[in-house]
Structure formats: structure tokens, C-alpha cells
Amino acid sequence: MTVRNSMKKDSVSPDTLNFSSYAHCMLCPRRCGARRTEGKRGICGATDELHVARAALHFWEEPLISGKRGSGAIFFSGCPLRCVFCQNHEISQEGFGLAITTKRLAQIMLELQSQGALNINLVTPLHFAPHVRRAILLARKAGLELPIICNTSGYESIETLQAVEDVIDIWLTDFKYASQELSGRLSKAPDYPEVAFAALTEMLRQLQKAGGRLQGTDGRLLRGIIVRHLVLPGHSDDSCAVLDRIWELCGNEVDVSVMNQYTPNAECLASNTELAHTVSNQEYERVLDHSDDLGFERLWWQQGGTVSESFIPTFDATGVAGPELRQT
């Protein structure tokens, strides 16, 4: 598998990631060139104005992320993918969220720390990478001590991943598809499999450079990679192929989380396709058995009955509005 990774004109790099990156946006693999500084929206749906939909303690991540105290989750508006089954469509595709400043984002991180969060969990943040990196640096200078999680779809450019390497401790990344046909049909991104593989390769390089996986005495993850895969109804073959690719690249250097929480949204329920159904126990068990056969030692899985809209937080701008960080 080969992925073109040449530095193109206007592409982002660790030395050039700043607010001018929005002028001709190349932050994600779409490389759409949207003039976001002029109010134009990229394929992600965003201009250069930072929008956040929710900031609160979140208790439904993997145990080493949420623990008993909760993960400090900040949900960003917009997304470069267009998944027909997206459970967060109000924010990923419909644009819900409040406009905030970089200093407000930094203050939100500190507020979540004061609420007892185990970490700062940035959910789909990298189409706002210049804001995000700056906010983390400001928050750290003001006393933020928590690990920073980048919670991503896996559809990321290597240049942007490298540009935020110095501020991310944990990659919580999806690997959604092995099939180009499936990723094109369901997420409008036929290049997803090769892009996700290249992105995971870069995440693994960063982890190895930092010294490998690190877990605290309290069980929380301090540094590492968790690769998530959501099993889709009717596509267990593709799920097994995804696991093959993860094993091929990473072996047991990463944690793997195989999820069965697929919940059909209104569009999928009306589609009269396989996506109108939930994942059967047989499908899920087949994928878990394949994970065991491959040899994954840190495999996270969900018990039966987890299919529920309770996994979907209420996007009501909780925790978003408030004071900015006061710099000294």
C-alpha cells in the first residue's frame, strides 16, 4: 500500500501551521483549498471561525479514558467526512455549535481539569488545528497538566498530524473501512482506507518516538494509541479486513476497541438497506473471534445490549460559553 505524501504548495507543515493555514485550506486529506478566512466553508463545513458544540465530562469512552471521573470531552463542529450513519450529525454535518475564541477554548480545558477530568478529549478537532494547537499551548502555560487526546475519524493528513505532534499525548483514532467501495459509498471518501493507514503509520511513529505506551498507576492512559472500529451491519468481512491491517502495521503496540454500538439514524432507518438494522450478535462475535485469532492483547469490546442512543451526548452547547483565559 502506497500513499502519496509529497508536500504540495500551500500544504501545512509543523513550521507553517497558523491561522493563515485557513486562507487556502489544505488541513485535511480533501485538500479542498477553501478560502476559509474569507468566510467560505470547506468540505468540513467550517470557516476560520472556531465552533464548539459541547464541553463536559464524558463517561462512555473506554475505561482507561473515562475511568470513574470522566473524560473532558470537547466536541467541535464540522467534519471532513460525510458518513451516512453518523450519530453526531447535528454537529458534524448540520453545523450546530457556538463560535468561541482560542482563549475561550484554552479556558474550557482548564475548567474541565478543575471538574476532575482525567484528560482533555478533543473530538474531531483537526479542521481547526491552528486554533487547537494554540489553545493547548496557552492552557499548558496557565496550568493544564492533563494528557491531551485527539479523538479522530482517522481521515487526517500526515502534515497536520506532524504539525500537532508536540501537543497530542493520545491518539483515539477510528479505522472505519478496508474497502474503498464501502468508504466511498458510506462516507464519500473512497481514499479513506489508504489515508487512514498512512495516518495510523504516522501516529505510531510519534508514539515510538515518545517512548511508547504509558499507563498511570490509576489505570488511565497517559500516552498511547487506541484504534477504534465500529462494526456495521452486513459488513463483518470488511471489519475483519480492517483488523488485519491494524495488526499488520501495529501488532500489540496499540490498543484496539471493537464496538457494536451502531445505532441507525433516521436516514438509515428509512433507507431499506443493511444500515436500517443493528449489528447481530453473530456478526459481532465473528469480528471479536478474528481479533482474538490475530493476537491482540489489549482488546476492548462491548457487552450485548449496548446499542442505544444513550451513547450519543446531547448537543446543547453545554460548557461552551464563558470567560476567556486571562493571560498574565
Cβ(154)–Cβ(200) below 8 Å: yes
Query: Considering the chain, what percentage of its residues have pLDDT values greater than 70?
Result: 93
pLDDT given at position 4: 38
Q: Is the pLDDT of residue 6 over 60?
A: no
- 170 Cβ neighbours under 8 A, 6+ residues apart: 65, 119, 147, 148, 149, 150, 221, 222, 223, 224, 225, 226
- 60 Cβ neighbours under 8 A, 6+ residues apart: 66, 310, 311
Gap between the Cα atoms of 146 and 112, Å rounded: 10
Averaged pLDDT, 31-46: 97
Instruction: Report the length, in residues, of the chain.
Output: 328
Nearest Cα residue to 117 out of 71, 149, 74, 75: 71
pLDDT given at position 45: 97
pLDDT tens-place string over residues 75-88: 999 999 999 999 89
| Grid cell at residue 156 | 487526517
Question: Which residues make beta-bridge pairs with 224?
Answer: 170
pLDDT given at position 5: 42
| Grid cell at residue 240 | 475483519
Averaged pLDDT, 263-282: 94
pLDDT-wise least confident of 12-21, 162-171, 181-190: 12-21
Mean pLDDT value across the chain? 93
pLDDT tens-place string over residues 110-152: 999 999 999 999 999 999 999 999 999 999 999 999 999 999 9
Gap between the Cα atoms of 81 and 93, Å rounded: 9
Domains with residue ranges and CATH for the chain: 48-311 (3.20.20.70)
Phi, psi at 75, each rounded to 5°:
-95, 120
Helix (H) or strand (E) holding 162: helix 158-163
Other Cβ atoms within 10 Å of 89 Cβ, number: 19
Gap between the Cα atoms of 148 and 168, Å rounded: 5
pLDDT given at position 35: 98
Q: Is 286 helix (H, G, I), strand (E, B) or coil?
A: helix
pLDDT given at position 7: 41
Q: Is 204 helix (H, G, I), strand (E, B) or coil?
A: helix
- 272 Cβ neighbours under 8 A, 6+ residues apart: none
- 182 Cβ neighbours under 8 A, 6+ residues apart: 235, 238
Gap between the Cα atoms of 262 and 86, Å rounded: 9
Phi, psi at 25, each rounded to 5°:
-70, 125
pLDDT confidence band for 262 (50 / 70 / 90):
very high
Nearest Cα residue to 151 out of 275, 34, 54: 54
pLDDT tens-place string over residues 309-325: 556 788 999 999 999 99
pLDDT given at position 8: 47
pLDDT given at position 189: 98
Nearest Cα residue to 256 out of 158, 194, 171, 146: 171
pLDDT confidence band for 2 (50 / 70 / 90):
very low
pLDDT confidence band for 154 (50 / 70 / 90):
very high
**If 0-12 CB within 10 Å is exposed, 13-18 middle and 19+ buried, where does residue 286 land?**
middle
Other Cβ atoms within 10 Å of 13 Cβ, number: 12
Q: Is the pLDDT of residue 9 over 50?
A: no
Averaged pLDDT, 167-178: 98
What is the biggest distance separating any 2 CA atoms in the chain, rounded to whole angstroms?
Answer: 58
Q: Is the pLDDT of residue 10 over 60?
A: no
